[in-house]
Structure 1
């Protein structure tokens, strides 16, 4: 139980710390705005340096493929369209439960606008209990709980592609996912493990490309700094941005880290008006080397309530009509959802496994085990004791 009386004594120190951080953040923002203005005049020179020294730069940075002063008002979407989204949730394996297994639940949403069609809102559960599902990750040193989340990410995209391509319609369709299309966690995985996660995702993308259905990653409250790091090339005091030679230890003081802890969204909120997008960027994340031709681009959009990071594969960006329709449908979704895309929110609501659902799942499993003749079915004493209290 949380003792609020003891906690209140620490609040004063926390508030003072946050006040000083806010002041420092404003100063970093002013400095970043100055560097952005300077970068307008030498953008191509910075890009040339970035390309020339890319193997020597030790921080993640993106490349602007449009002028940095780009401010484009997102076009109004067509009234007749369809939006598809999926999201996932899970019940993690627990040795103290009646059986060691896990469940993935995928929320599926199809919303039709201007077509007089019923929406689809349901979920697709899947139980994993075989040894090859539970213990395959052990040989790579990956815990089952972590592997479960990686598999969920891959399956979410597969389910999304199947769902989007099953919609028989000649109207614009947008497939949306919550979060990034750049799967950073793959960097820490062995190659054999990556080969089980990434190929199904890229295959699903290819399926949607052939069906001419754009896929979009929507990031709310993004913490990315790839665009800010492009400005670090301008702030570098050395003749060339050769981090390996001049600043090999990025954890120590680095002269170009004058924007440290300043996110991309902090800069673009001062640059964009509601309904506008900034320049398009190409991500240079090293993990994208495994994506082949499926390079990921992104832009920042003022959706009215916040600055959202929008990520799209190359084949969406290269089709200007598809790109404009995708952004327009995204903005309409945010407006319909009062600040957050309604399709993504509903997919989450369909996917989430609540406490009562978990209890019913294990109750159903218990009945099946008893029916199969298994004896001594029940939770561990530890789990049973934690569910009740004598205090």
Structure 2
């Protein structure tokens, strides 16, 4: 039980810390904007350093995929007949103290049709995983990490299947909650990564062939990929070889405005409905992606003034970034969804509600398993003594 009386005495310290951090953040932003001004005047300096030394950096650094100009046309919400497809997932992680060592992936599926009288699709698809090979794969990842990868894989594969079921003549947008970059694959070798990437890349190829733009929507992103590009102009050495010149125990000289998230930086520059330039992600795990290499931009999806804005990170494959029509459809569709959802894409919000596994669902899940185990004649069907005591307590 949480003792709120004892906790309340610690809150003023948090308030003071947040106040100090707000001032420090404003100073970091001021320095970053100064460097950005220099970058716009001498883009070739940063570009040459990134080409020559991008593979020698100790941090993930995106690179501009289009000119870094200040002004871009304001994006208008998508109108007319169109369909938005979205998926989101949740899971029950395996637990040795439960009745059975198994896990569950639940994918929420949403298909919303606009400008038609067609009924929407609102449902979820549960998948039960139980063989040890399903949860380990000898990859060095623990069961929970493997489960997260399987969930992300299921989300994209199901999204592609739903999107391709929409009539080809219909304007369609595919949305997924979260990043399209499979960060969880970074600890794996190239061969092990391929086992996970092949199904993902196959789904992306199906969407590309059907000309259906895919967007990963990230709210309150913590990424600093684009801000890290500014650091290339602050390196005092002839070559940007981080591992050679910079001591890991000290802050490098290029890190004068870190930590500064991209969303804070672009939030100071973007008006409602405006987007940042498009950037090519520098994540090494994307090296095998080819024409599906993930690009991103930041979009001010708010209707209020700058300073109160929600700056969303939008991720999409290279073939969306390179196609003006698909990119326009993707950005306009996202903005329309955010407005319909009063601040967050309505299709993704519905997919989340359909996917989430609540406490009662979890209890019913294991109760159903218990019934089947008893019916099958298995004995000693019960949770561990530790789990039983945690559920009952002594008070």
- Fold equivalence (TM over 0.5): yes
Structure 2 residue 64 is matched with structure 1 residue 64: yes
Q: Secondary structure at the match of 1:292?
A: helix
Is 1:207 the equivalent of 2:210? Answer: no
| Aligned twin of 1:44 | 44
- Residue 109 of structure 1 deviates from its aligned partner by 0.4
Give SS of 2:8's match: helix
Q: Output the CA distance in 1 between the equivalents of 2:67 and 2:384.
A: 62
1:213-362 alignment runs, 5 A limit: 213-247=212-246, 249-304=247-302, 305-362=309-366
Partner Cα distance (2:174, 2:43) in 1: 33
1:99–1:54 CA distance, 2 compared to 1 (3 A): same
> Structure 1 segments of 4 or more deviating over 4 A?
none
Is the contact between residue 76 and residue 335 of structure 2 (CA under 8 Å) also seen in structure 1?
no
Contact persistence 1:58–1:250 (CA under 8 A): no
- Over 3 Å counting, the alpha-carbon distance change for 1:263 and 1:290 in structure 2 is same
Classify the secondary structure of the residue corresponding to 1:153. Answer: helix
Gaps of 5+ in 1: none
Q: Distance in 2 between matches of 1:206 and 1:140?
A: 26
Task: Supply the distance in 2 between the matched residues of 1:280 and 1:382 (Cα, whole angstroms).
Answer: 52
1:6-21 matches, cutoff 5 A? 6-21=6-21
- Aligned to 2:216, the other structure's residue is in SS state strand
Q: Contact (CA 8 Å) 1:186, 1:194: kept in 2 or not? A: yes
TM-score (norm 2): 0.94
CA distance in 1, matches of 2:329, 2:139: 42
Secondary structure of 2:40's counterpart equals helix
Give the C-alpha shift of residue 293 in structure 1.
2.6
Residues in 2 aligned to 1:27 and 1:233: alpha-carbon distance in whole angstroms: 20
Please state how far the C-alpha of 1:169 moved relative to its aligned partner. 4.5
RMSD over equivalenced CA pairs, Å: 1.6
Paired residue total: 388
The question of whether the paired residues in 2 share the 8 Å contact of 1:281 and 1:297 is answered with yes
Distance across 2 between alignment mates of 1:182 and 1:250: 26
Gaps in structure 2 of 5+ consecutive residues: 303-308
